[in-house]
Chains A and B, each alone.
Chain A
Amino acid sequence: MPISTTPIEELTYEQAFAELESIVNALEANQLALEESLALFERGQALSHYCAGLLDRAELRVTQLTDTRSGPLDE
């Protein structure tokens, strides 16, 4: 399994989680050379710390469009 070289900070939570998942699956399948599996493990650990950090700090980001044609706003 090729190890992604994308810097972890550039990943979204979903991307990081998906990568972590595929790393765990690859490690569990147990068909890798030791050196490769250690490198994967390290990347996996970094990903899991990153994901946990994102969850801890998560805050809903809200923006509002202003340029849609909108009529009177009543409800």
Chain B
Amino acid sequence: MFQSSLFQPVSISVSDLTRYVRTLLENDSVLQDIWVLGEISNLSRPASGHVYFTLKDQSSALRCVIWKTSAARLRLPLQNGMAVEAHGQISLYERDGQYQLYIDSMRPAGEGYLYQEFLRLKARLEAEGLFDEERKRPIPARPRRIGIVTSPTGAALQDMLNTLRRRYPLAEVCVAPAAVQGDDAPAALVAAMRAVCSLFQPDVVLLARGGGSLEDLWAFNDEWVVRAVAALPVPVICGVGHETDFTLCDFAADLRAPTPTGAAELCSCEIGEVAGELDDLRGRLENSILFRAQLYRRALADQAAQLAYVSPIRRVQNDRQRVDTLAARIDRSMRHVLELKNARARGMASRLAALNPLAVLGRGYAVVRTGTGRIVRSAGEVIPGDMLDIRVAQGRIQADVTGTEPTP
């Protein structure tokens, strides 16, 4: 835009200057997100749908524009003389060289006082220690009983129930319905919180409301409600409005959730996670007993070996062997004795056989007996006429004595 210093400084055009100033304005972060308080004058609503007016106070004036699209969203009926707070960005209308506020939202000026009130109450309660970190109680990871204080007809309740149903169906939920906006809301909220705690004995309480304007959420900045939150006997999760909305209940609660759904998530864990934990534990249970069984088995085997080593069975076996050896010896010696006796018996038998008088008969001798059986050794022992019985090797002969011839 500017010439180099080798040359004389030259003028720039009005357009260039205007554009330069506009760039400066638009690059200022404060000017691009600003609330301005003033009174409406020179209100003009041409057929284009855009809205033009001037905001002024005792000493200054500010040109303002609301484009058609933003104007359509305004819920505030505008009129001259009205005190408002307008939010938007400062920029430059190049044709007139005029800086202006391009408004995107507006509220009646009274809300500014609400905000001042909010800050005053917050400072007071903070000074009392109501919001201290040390006061915050831990949120149970697996609450069994969950109390919910909210409007029974709002989407917030369904969002929370759906979240809990999906994530943690093991829980038991009790809904304490309460008005969440309007003049009756503070009393209703306090009554509902106390009732759900005394009648249901929850492990945690969710205090929730869907998004809305600052006024809509105002009950959650009520001193009575805030003190009731801090005084509840169980941990409280506050999920009011959207992520960007802060209420005093958020500060007094044990945990702030960005939204009602967030509140339901913060007090629940995925059931899959629960199942995973259970599986782990089951695995450890089985391993522990297997390990133990192995341990016992090994110890038992050691003991068995030890026992075998010191066992009397060994001695018994040794003794048994000695008995066996003795038995064999006895057996052997008995057989020997028997053989000896046998041989002797056989010798006797042959000797007996040799003494058998009948054997002599074989050689032709005969034994002669009288009729009475007396052996005849001398001829003189018989007389003619006697009966003789003669025994020869083969059989007997009966003979009569016909004569005798005794030896002299």
Contact = CB atoms under 8 A, between A and B. Distances in A.
B273 to A, nearest CB: 11
Given A55-B278, A65-B195, A48 B285 contact: yes
Interface string B128-156: 00000000000000101000000111101
Contact of B178 (A28, A61, A68): A68
A13 B170 CA distance: 8
Contact of B179 (A23, A24, A70): A70
A20 B281 contact: yes
A55 B274 contact: yes
A24 to B, nearest CB: 5
Interface string A55-71: 10011111111011111
A30 interface: yes
Interface in B149-193: 151-154, 156, 161, 164-165, 168-185, 187-188, 191-192
Nearest to B194: A68
Contact of B192 (A13, A63, A65): A65
B288 A27 contact: yes
B122 interface: no
Given A55-B170, A55-B278, A65-B175, A75 B285 contact: no
Task: Name the interface size band of chain B.
Answer: 35 or more
A11 B26 CA distance: 65
B177 A65 contact: yes
Residue among B173, B181, B289, B296 having the largest count of chain A Cβ atoms under 10 Å: B289
B270 to A, nearest CB: 12
Nearest to A21: B281
Given A60-B161, A72-B182, A65 B170 contact: no
Nearest to A23: B285
Given A48-B282, A48-B285, A58 B174 contact: no
B284 interface: yes
A21 B281 CA distance: 7
Contacts of A20: 278, 281, 285
A28 B281 CA distance: 11
Contacts of B176: 64-65, 68
A58 B285 contact: no
Which residue among B164, B177, B282 has the maximum number of chain A CB atoms within 10 Å of its CB? Answer: B282
Contacts of B282: 48, 52
| Chain A: interface size category | 35 or more
B121 interface: no
B200 interface: yes
Contacts of A27: 285, 288-289, 292
Contacts of B172: 60-61, 63
Given A30-B292, A48-B281, A69 B169 contact: no
A68 B184 contact: no
B275 interface: yes
B199 interface: yes
A75 B180 contact: yes
Given A72-B179, A74-B179, A24 B199 contact: no
Given A70-B188, A74-B181, A75-B154, A34 B296 contact: yes
Interface of B: 142, 144, 151-154, 156, 161, 164-165, 168-185, 187-188, 191-192, 195-196, 199-200, 209-210, 212, 271, 274-275, 277-278, 281-282, 284-285, 288-289, 291-292, 295-296
27 contacts: A14-B142, A14-B144, A17-B278, A17-B281, A20-B281, A24-B281, A27-B288, A27-B289, A30-B292, A37-B289, A41-B285, A41-B289, A51-B278, A54-B170, A55-B274, A55-B278, A59-B165, A61-B171, A62-B161, A62-B174, A65-B177, A65-B199, A69-B187, A70-B177, A74-B181, A74-B182, A75-B180
Given A12-B144, A65-B175, A75-B156, 20 more contacts: A17-B281, A21-B281, A24-B288, A28-B284, A48-B281, A52-B275, A55-B274, A58-B271, A60-B172, A61-B173, A67-B195, A68-B188, A68-B191, A69-B188, A70-B184, A71-B188, A72-B182, A73-B179, A74-B179, A74-B181
Interface of A: 12-14, 17, 20-21, 23-24, 27-28, 30, 34, 37-38, 41, 44-45, 48, 51-52, 54-55, 58-65, 67-75
